[in-house]
Amino acid sequence: MGMTRGLLVLLVMVATLARGGSGDIWNTASSDNARIVDERINKMLERLSHKAYDSDRDHLFSIFKKTQKEFLHRYTQYSSMDQLATGDFDCLTATSLFAEILERSGFRYRIMETNYHIFLLVETSGGEVLIETTDRFEGFVESPDEIARAIKDYRTEVPTESNSKKCYQYGFEMYNEISPRQLSGLLYFNQAVKAYNDGAWLLCSEKIVLAENHYNSPRVATLASLLVCAISVNEIPSADKHKVIENLKQIERVSGQPVASR
């Protein structure tokens, strides 16, 4: 499995649907696109419900293959939940989609977060299965040894730099089980990262606040600090700079910690 899948890799430029469980993830999508995906999920699960399975693991594998085939067509870094309607995905949005489908199918699962990746651990009568949502060929991992090996790789993964892009590496190590609400916070966070990479400083600050409201993660404060540095060294209208600072002060009020020295 390739190791750079675009989850939360900050490329630093140099110089709702009414459902249970995982419904929060759709807050980041437009109502029209959420409805399109919702209807397609229902149709897929209706078809699968008429099949006979030897075990719940076989049922899970069928869900994995069908979801890959019907929804996940083009890997696009920092894609949004809206883009699932047209087949574009990244690790985070694909995991969000699977979480929704597993919720509706009655499977118990855990959403696991590392510094630069996210994946699912799903309970079956034959033991846990790891689902790597961006790998349609080897992303259904059943062997306990292979699961342990994959998790070790995820936990030691670092972003890959290129000649044109410099990657930021976090100064902390994360390996957490997160809730669907926190997952929606990461979706907002990825939007903030994309805005940062595009130099859209005000939009970045707005998305950071949304991310913080859903998930008080150390990565949010890290991005906020980088944003403060960015607006101090880049030309930006004073009114926009003031709005960025005011937005970031909301994070301070929530966390009680300053996001950076100013």
Q: Are 204 and 195 in contact (CB under 8 A)?
A: yes
Find out if CATH 3.10.620 is the number for domain 11-156: yes
| C-alpha dist (Å) from residue 136 to 64, 71, 140, 230 | 8, 11, 8, 38
pLDDT value at position 257? 52
pLDDT value at position 160? 67
pTM of the model: 0.85
pLDDT value at position 79? 93
pLDDT value at position 167? 72
Q: Are 72 and 94 in contact (CB under 8 A)?
A: yes
Strand 129-131 relative to strand 11-12, pairing: unpaired
Amino acid at 52: A
Helix/strand/coil for 139: coil
Listed by start position, the domains of the chain span: 11-156, 199-262
**Strand ranges in 33-183 using DSSP code E only, listed in sequence order:** 74-75, 88-89, 109-114, 118-122, 129-131, 140-141, 166-167, 175-178
pLDDT digits (tens, 9 = 90+) for 115-154: 989 999 999 999 999 999 999 999 999 999 999 999 999 9
Mean pLDDT over each residue of the chain, to the nearest integer: 86
Inform me whether the pLDDT recorded for 42 exceeds 70. yes
pLDDT digits (tens, 9 = 90+) for 188-245: 999 999 999 999 999 999 999 999 999 999 999 999 999 999 999 998 999 999 999 9
